[in-house]
Amino acid sequence: MRHVFLFANPISGSGRARPLAALIARKLRREGYRVDAHYEPPDQIAPDRLTERVRAAIVIGGDGTLRTVANTLMTFAHPPPIIPVPMGTANLMARQLRLPRITADSAANWVSDTLRDGSVVRYDVARVNLQLCLLMAGIGYDGEIVHDLAKSRVGPINYASYLLPAARALGSYKFHSLRVLADGKEVFPSRPAIAFVGNSREYGIGFPVLPQADPHDRLLDLLVLPCRSRTELFAWFVGILTGTHLQGRGVLQMRAQNFFIESSQPVPVQVDGDAAGHTPVSIDLLPAQLGFMVPTGKEMT
């Protein structure tokens, strides 16, 4: 097939995504591809505007853009594989896929080469209540930070954007009790804690929260850290940085296809760095995997 989608979040890269998309589109059209380009915010793209039979979907933006586009593509009977062109803050999916650093000068050639010679890797994805999750959902303190940032966000963000919300959350967050069920069975009784569920080994700026996560094993990874205070939160943070948190007292780490988390009071939830409501929350592995087209030899193991 010589037909591709091209999605560019207009605010990604401080506005650089759209002109980069235009460069990519021109090169692909010269090579004989039919390019169906979309330059509006990805959550404004109606699925009925898209045809299903395409070779790939090129997505220019950050992890949030990638997730929003993937949410639309997963409504198709045969979702096309995605070629990510990272232009966000963390770009965790690009790191997961071991993509090379892509510059404005190299992007068009890189996309063309990947379309011609790339291979497709299949990736587990989840549904968190009604939202698609490609990387990781967080329940607790990190959810509070993301919710706080969402209230004031008006455009592109960077790592510094999280500093004030993190400081506010550190001063005000209440550690409520969480109760966790895995595949319908209680695995963590109601105790103050924070929790993470997903397929990504890293979170944020590269913190190895779920170091044993495997995005191909048809299971979701759960990590619950008992936490009652800011002192304990800091100790867990140090443990994550040093890779010792899995051996901490009271830690629950396991895999399942479905998790249900409820709490004594509503607890904020984040999904792939976006605010996603509050508990109770159901996190389910989807039957279908999502494909990513990557340069041959760069497949994640």
Q: Please check the confidence at residue 297 and state whether its pLDDT lies above 80.
A: no
Asked whether the predicted pLDDT for residue 300 surpasses 50, the reply is no
CATH code for the domain in which residue 253 is found: 2.60.200.40
- Do 199 and 109 share a structural domain? no
| Reported confidence tier of residue 299, pLDDT bands at 50, 70, 90 | very low
For residue 12, give Cα distances in angstroms to 62, 81, 293: 7, 21, 21
DSSP string, 109-167: HHHHHHHHH-EEEEE--EEETTEEESSEEEESHHHHHHHHHHHH--S---GGGGHHHHH
Per the CB < 8 A criterion, the answer to whether 120 and 79 are in contact is: no
Residues 56 and 160 in one domain: no
Torsions phi, psi for 60 (to 5 deg):
-105, 115
- For residue 300, being part of any structural domain is answered with no
Beta strand segments in 164-257, E: 177-182, 185-198, 220-226, 252-256
- Better pLDDT: 61 or 14: 61
Is the same domain home to 136 and 279? Answer: yes
21 three-state secondary structure? helix
Query: What is the pLDDT, as a whole number, of residue 223?
Result: 98
Query: Is there a domain that residue 109 lies in?
Result: yes
**Residue 225 corresponds to which amino acid?**
L
Across the range 237-260, mean pLDDT stands at 95
Tell me which of 44 and 201 has the higher pLDDT: 201
Q: Residue 104 sits in a domain of what CATH number?
A: 3.40.50.10330
161 and 87 both lie in a single domain = no
Considering the domain architecture, whether residues 215 and 259 belong to the same structural domain is answered as yes
DSSP letter (8 states) at residue 251: -
Share of the chain above pLDDT 90, in %: 63
Q: Compute the mean pLDDT over every residue in the chain, rounded to the nearest whole number.
A: 89
10 found inside a domain: yes
Q: What is the predicted pLDDT for the residue at 88?
A: 79
Q: What pLDDT, in 10s, does the model give residues 115-174? A: 999 999 999 999 999 899 999 999 999 999 988 887 876 566 666 677 788 888 888 899
Are 135 and 64 within one domain? no
Phi/psi of residue 31, nearest 5 degrees: -90, 5
Q: Which residues contact 7 (CB under 8 A, 6 or more apart)?
A: 38, 42, 45, 57, 58, 59, 60, 61, 65, 69
Residue 230: which domain range?
131-285
Instruction: Judge whether 245 lies within some domain.
Output: yes
β-bridge partners, 46: none
Give the lowest-confidence range in 65-69, 166-170, 204-208, 215-219: 204-208
Residues 139, 275 within the same domain: yes
In what order do the strands lie in the sheet containing 3-8? Answer: 34-38, 3-8, 56-61, 82-86, 290-294, 119-123
Domain total in the chain: 2
Q: Which of 40-44, 58-62, 206-210, 237-241 has the lowest mean pLDDT?
A: 40-44
CA distances from 169 to 146, 147, 165, 220, 233 (A): 10, 10, 6, 27, 12
Question: pLDDT tens, 71-125?
Answer: 988 888 888 999 999 987 788 899 889 888 888 889 999 999 999 999 999 999 9
For residue 96, give the amino acid letter. Answer: Q
Q: Give the pLDDT confidence score for residue 76 in this predicted structure.
A: 86
Together in a domain, 250 and 176? yes
- Inter-residue contact 1 to 28 (CB < 8 Å): no
The pLDDT, as a whole number, for residue 119 is 94
The percent of residues in the chain predicted with pLDDT above 70, rounded, is 90
pLDDT average, residue stretch 250-256: 97
Do 47 and 149 fall within a single domain?
Answer: no
pLDDT value of position 156: 63
Instruction: Say if residue 136 is in the same domain as residue 103.
Output: no
Q: Which amino acid is at 166?
A: A
Q: Are residues 68 and 168 in the same domain?
A: no
